[in-house]
Amino acid sequence: MTSGQSEQQRDPLDRPRHPANRQPIAFIDEFGMAALKVPLDNHGRNHAIVGPRAYQRVLDSGLTGMWFTNSNGHGRRYVRTAAPGSRSTLTLIARVIMDAGPGEVIRYANGDSLDLRVMNLLSRRGKAKRRDSQIKVSRGNASAS
C-alpha cells in the first residue's frame, strides 16, 4: 500500500470497500431517460435503477442512500433501507417512491424488483402478505419521477 492510501480493503477496480462510497451512478437508460444506478453492496456489483427525482424523494423523506436487498424467503429480493435512527426497522424503497399507504401493494411491471423507475412500479389496492407498517414518510412529499 502506498503512503497516501487508506488502510481499508480495496476491490479489483480500485474502489474503496466502504459504505460511504455508495454514491449513485448517473446514466441514460434504454428509453433515453436520465436514471441512477444505486449500489446495493459495498463492492458495487449489484445496483437498483431509479429516476433522479424518485431518488431525491427518498432522501427528502429522511431515509438514507444506503440501500440493500433482502429476501422475502421465497426467492424474491426487495430493495430496502433502514429507517432513520433504527437499524432494525426496514423500509421498502418502492413503497416510499410510490407513496404507498396501508392497503396498497406495489407490483413491478417488468417483474424486476431492482428496477425502481416509476414507470415500472404499479400501486394497487389490496392486501399484502406483510405490510411495511413502519413507513414514517409523510404523504404528499415531493413528486416522484
Q: Domains of the chain: which residue ranges?
A: 19-124
**Averaged pLDDT, 19-33:** 87
79-123 pLDDT tens trace: 999 887 776 788 999 999 999 988 899 999 999 999 999 999 999
Helix ranges (H only) for 30-112 are 52-60, 93-97
Highest mean pLDDT of the ranges 19-23, 39-43, 134-138: 39-43
What SS3 class is residue 96? helix
Please say if the pLDDT value at position 22 is more than 90: no
**Residue 36 confidence (pLDDT):** 97
| Separation of alpha carbons 87 and 89, rounded Å | 6
pTM greater than 0.85 (yes/no): no
The residue written with cell numbers 413491478 in the block is 108
**Averaged pLDDT, 29-52:** 94
Please say if the pLDDT value at position 16 is more than 50: no
**Averaged pLDDT, 23-50:** 94
